[in-house]
Amino acid sequence: MATIDALKGPTLMPASNKPATSAVVLLHGYGSNGDDLIGLAPYFARVLPDTAFYAPHAPQPLEGGFMGGFQWFSLATYDPDMMRRDPNRMADTFKSFREGTGASAMKLNSYLDQILAHHSLEPGKLVLLGFSQGTMMSLHVGPRREKQIAGILGYSGALTGADALGAELKTKPPVALVHGDADAVVPYPAMAAAEQALKAVGISVETLTVRGLQHGIDPEGAQFGAAFLKRVLA
C-alpha cells in the first residue's frame, strides 16, 4: 500500500468502515492548518460514507513565525483594502500569486498522487475542496493535472494566474464556488472574476452567493457543497 508522506495532516477514513471509493482533499487558508478544515469532513461524510477525507498542512510555516500556522505561499504584500478602493487592481494582485501557487503545486500534486495510489482510486474519484488560499491552490492545481479529477469546490477564494490558464490547461473538472458578499478578506467580486476566466477556457462553473456572510463557510454553503460533492462523486 502506497505511503502518503508528501504532506502531513489529519484524516478521516470512510464512515462506512469500508474501503474508500473516493477521496476529498481539503486545503486550508492562509495561517491556518489542516486541523481546521478536517472539521467539515464529518458533515460531508453523511452524504459520502465511503469517502476518505484528507486535510494536509500547507508546506510552508506561516511567515512571521506564528506557531501552528501554515501557508501555501506568501501573502506578505496582500492588501484587500486596496482592492476594495480600486477594483481594477484585483486582477494584478491575483496574477502576482501565480509563482506562489506554482511553487507549492509540486508537493500538492505528489500528495494527491499518493492518496490515489494508497486507495487504488482513479483521478475521477478525487475532489479538491479549498477555503480562501486553499481555493487558490485548488483552482491552480486541478485543471493542470494530467488526468481529470472529479471536481473542485472552492469557498471564499480566487483564481490566480488566470492569464496563463488557457496555455497550461490540461483538463476541465467541474467547479463550484461559494462566496459571501460581505467578505473583507477576499473581495466578493473575485468569485465572478474566477467564474468568467474558468468558463472562458471551457470549464463548467456553478456559484453560490451567501448574503451577509463574511470570510467563512456557513450552513447554506456547506449544504450547497455537499450536494456538489455527492453529484460529482456518485
The answer to whether position 4 is within a domain reads no
Cell matching residue 214: 463574511
The answer to whether position 3 is within a domain reads no
Average pLDDT value for residue range 15-21:
97
Q: How many CA atoms lie within 13 A of 178 on its CB side?
A: 25
CB 108 within 8 A of CB 60: no
Q: What is the pLDDT of residues 183-201, one digit of tens each?
A: 999 999 999 999 999 999 9
Average pLDDT value for residue range 39-60:
97
Cell matching residue 221: 454553503
Q: What is the pLDDT of residues 111-151, one digit of tens each?
A: 999 999 999 999 999 999 999 999 999 999 999 999 999 99
What's the pLDDT score for residue 31?
A: 93
Which of 119, 91, 96, 168 minimizes the C-alpha distance to 21? 119
DSSP characters over 144-159: GSSS--SEEEEES---
CATH number, domain of 156, equals 3.40.50.1820
What domain range includes position 146? 11-232
The C-alpha atoms of residue 73 and residue 207 are separated, in whole angstroms, by 25
The answer to whether position 33 is within a domain reads yes
Q: What is the pLDDT of residues 53-91, one digit of tens each?
A: 999 999 999 987 666 799 999 888 888 888 777 777 777
User: Highest mean pLDDT: which of 24-28, 67-71, 97-101?
Assistant: 24-28
DSSP secondary structure code for residue 60 in this structure: E
The answer to whether position 2 is within a domain reads no
Q: What is the pLDDT of residues 198-231, one digit of tens each?
A: 999 999 999 999 999 999 999 999 999 999 999 9
The answer to whether position 153 is within a domain reads yes
Work out how many domains the chain is built from and give that number: 1
What's the pLDDT score for residue 65?
A: 65
